[in-house]
Structure 1
Amino acid sequence: MGRKIKDVTSSGGEEDRKIKRKRKLEEEEAQINGEVEETPDVSASKKLEKKKKKKDKKNGKEEGATQLGSEQELKNGAELSEGVGEEKKKKKKESDGDKGGEEKKSYGGVVVSGKNSGDSKYAPLNSFADSKLPDNVLECCKGFDKPSPIQAHAWPFLLDNRDFIGIAQTGSGKTLAFGIPAIMHVLGKRKGDNSRRVNPICLFLSPTRELAQQIADVLCDAGKSCGVKSACFYGGTSKGPQLSALRSGIDLVIATPGRLKDLIEMGKCHLQDVSFVVLDEADRMLDMGFEQDVRSILSQTNSDRQMVMFSATWPMEVHQLANEFMDPNPIKVVVGSEDLAANHDVMQIVEVLEENTRDRRLVALLDKYHEAQRNRVIVFVLYQKEGDRVERMLQGRGLNVVAIHAGKPQSTRTKSLAMFKTGTCPLLIATDVAARGLDIPDVEVVINYSFPLTTEDYVHRIGRTGRAGKKGVAHTFFTKENKGLAGELVNVLREANQIIPPDLVKFGTHVKKKESKLYGAHFREITADAPKSTKITFADSDDE
Structure 2
Amino acid sequence: MGRKLKDNSFNSEPAAQEIHIDTQIKSEKKKKKKKKNKDHPSSQPEVQHSPKRKHEEIIVHEDSNSREKKKNKHDELEENGKESETHEGKEELKIDGEEDRSVEEDGLVVVSGKDAKEAKYAPLKSFAESKLPNDVLQCCKNFDSPSLIQSRAWPFLLDGRDFIGIAATGSGKTLAFGVPAIMHVLKKRKGKFSKGRNPLCLVLSPTRELAQQISDVLSDAGKPCGVESVCLYGGTSKGPQISSLKSGVDIVIGTPGRLKDLIDIGVCCLKEVTFGVLDEADRMLDMGFEPEVRYILGQTYSARQMVMFSATWPLSVHRLAQEFMDPNPVKVVIGSEDLAANHDVMQIVEVLDERSRDVRLIALLEKYHKSQRNRVLVFVLYKAEAPRIENLLQKGGWKAVSIHGNKPQHERTKALSLFKTGSCPLMIATDVAARGLDIPDVEVVINYSFPLTTEDYVHRIGRTGRAGKKGVAHTFFTPQNKGLAGELVNVLREAAQIVPDALLKFGTHVKKKESKLYGAHFKEITADAPKSKKITFDSSDDEN
Which bracket does the TM-score occupy, shorter chain normalised? 0.7 to 0.9
How far the C-alpha of 1:516 sits from its partner, in A, is: 4.8
* Cross-structure match for 1:378: 377
- Correspondences of 1:323-362 after superposition (within 5 Å): 323-362=322-361
SS in 1 for 2:113: strand
Mapped to 2, the partners of 1:472 and 1:247 lie a distance apart of 44
Deviations 1:203-234 (A, max 9, x none): 00000100000000000000010000000010
RMSD: 2.6
- Correspondences of 1:61-210 after superposition (within 5 Å): 87-88=65-66, 102-108=98-104, 109-191=108-190, 195-196=194-195, 198-210=197-209
How far the C-alpha of 1:517 sits from its partner, in A, is: 4.7
Mapped to 2, the partners of 1:99 and 1:366 lie a distance apart of 47
- Correspondences of 1:390-469 after superposition (within 5 Å): 390-469=389-468
How far the C-alpha of 1:323 sits from its partner, in A, is: 1.1
Mapped to 1, the partners of 2:520 and 2:263 lie a distance apart of 36
Mapped to 2, the partners of 1:291 and 1:537 lie a distance apart of 36
Deviations 1:471-491 (A, max 9, x none): 000000000000000000000
How far the C-alpha of 1:93 sits from its partner, in A, is: 11
How far the C-alpha of 1:90 sits from its partner, in A, is: 5.1
CA contact (8 A) 2:447 2:473 kept: yes
Mapped to 2, the partners of 1:388 and 1:235 lie a distance apart of 21
How far the C-alpha of 1:113 sits from its partner, in A, is: 0.8
How far the C-alpha of 1:515 sits from its partner, in A, is: 3.0
How far the C-alpha of 1:106 sits from its partner, in A, is: 2.3
Mapped to 2, the partners of 1:427 and 1:367 lie a distance apart of 12
Aligned amino acid, residue 461 of structure 1: R
* Cross-structure match for 2:56: none
* Cross-structure match for 2:37: none
Of 349-358 and 183-192, the range deviating more from structure 2: 183-192
CA contact (8 A) 1:375 1:443 kept: yes
Aligned amino acid, residue 169 of structure 1: A
How many residue pairs get aligned? The number is 449
CA contact (8 A) 2:512 2:521 kept: no
Aligned amino acid, residue 392 of structure 1: N
Q: Do the aligned partners of residues 344 and 327 (structure 1) sit closer, same or farther apart at CA in structure 2, a change above 3 Å counting?
A: same
- Correspondences of 1:192-231 after superposition (within 5 Å): 195-196=194-195, 198-231=197-230
Mapped to 2, the partners of 1:492 and 1:420 lie a distance apart of 28
Mapped to 2, the partners of 1:133 and 1:231 lie a distance apart of 24
Aligned amino acid, residue 88 of structure 1: S
* Cross-structure match for 1:283: 282
Aligned amino acid, residue 380 of structure 1: F
SS in 1 for 2:384: helix
Q: Do the aligned partners of residues 269 and 450 (structure 1) sit closer, same or farther apart at CA in structure 2, a change above 3 Å counting?
A: same
Query: Unpaired runs of 5+ in structure 1?
Result: 1-83, 527-532, 539-544
* Cross-structure match for 2:366: 367
Mapped to 2, the partners of 1:314 and 1:284 lie a distance apart of 10
Mapped to 2, the partners of 1:521 and 1:177 lie a distance apart of 34
Instruction: Name the TM-score, length of structure 1 as normaliser.
Output: 0.79
CA contact (8 A) 1:161 1:306 kept: yes
Mapped to 2, the partners of 1:472 and 1:237 lie a distance apart of 34
Higher share in helix: 1
Deviations 1:143-193 (A, max 9, x none): 000000000000000000000000111110000000000000000101285
Mapped to 2, the partners of 1:346 and 1:85 lie a distance apart of 47
Deviations 1:239-267 (A, max 9, x none): 00000000100000000000000000011
Aligned amino acid, residue 357 of structure 2: R
Q: Percent identity?
A: 73
Q: Do the aligned partners of residues 274 and 447 (structure 1) sit closer, same or farther apart at CA in structure 2, a change above 3 Å counting?
A: same
SS in 2 for 1:186: helix
How far the C-alpha of 1:268 sits from its partner, in A, is: 0.6
SS in 1 for 2:514: coil
Mapped to 2, the partners of 1:231 and 1:535 lie a distance apart of 55
Q: Do the aligned partners of residues 157 and 537 (structure 1) sit closer, same or farther apart at CA in structure 2, a change above 3 Å counting?
A: closer
Q: Do the aligned partners of residues 175 and 194 (structure 1) sit closer, same or farther apart at CA in structure 2, a change above 3 Å counting?
A: closer
Deviations 1:8-63 (A, max 9, x none): xxxxxxxxxxxxxxxxxxxxxxxxxxxxxxxxxxxxxxxxxxxxxxxxxxxxxxxx
How far the C-alpha of 1:105 sits from its partner, in A, is: 3.3
Mapped to 1, the partners of 2:63 and 2:468 lie a distance apart of 54
How far the C-alpha of 1:514 sits from its partner, in A, is: 1.2
How far the C-alpha of 1:315 sits from its partner, in A, is: 1.1
Aligned amino acid, residue 427 of structure 2: L
CA contact (8 A) 1:100 1:116 kept: no
CA contact (8 A) 2:201 2:251 kept: yes
Q: Do the aligned partners of residues 266 and 505 (structure 1) sit closer, same or farther apart at CA in structure 2, a change above 3 Å counting?
A: same
* Cross-structure match for 2:292: 293
SS in 2 for 1:115: coil
SS in 2 for 1:384: coil
Instruction: Name the TM-score, length of structure 2 as normaliser.
Output: 0.79
SS in 1 for 2:139: helix
Q: Do the aligned partners of residues 235 and 439 (structure 1) sit closer, same or farther apart at CA in structure 2, a change above 3 Å counting?
A: same
* Cross-structure match for 1:12: none
* Cross-structure match for 1:255: 254
Mapped to 1, the partners of 2:96 and 2:362 lie a distance apart of 60
CA contact (8 A) 1:103 1:116 kept: no
Mapped to 1, the partners of 2:235 and 2:472 lie a distance apart of 33
Q: Do the aligned partners of residues 357 and 270 (structure 1) sit closer, same or farther apart at CA in structure 2, a change above 3 Å counting?
A: same
Q: Do the aligned partners of residues 327 and 401 (structure 1) sit closer, same or farther apart at CA in structure 2, a change above 3 Å counting?
A: same
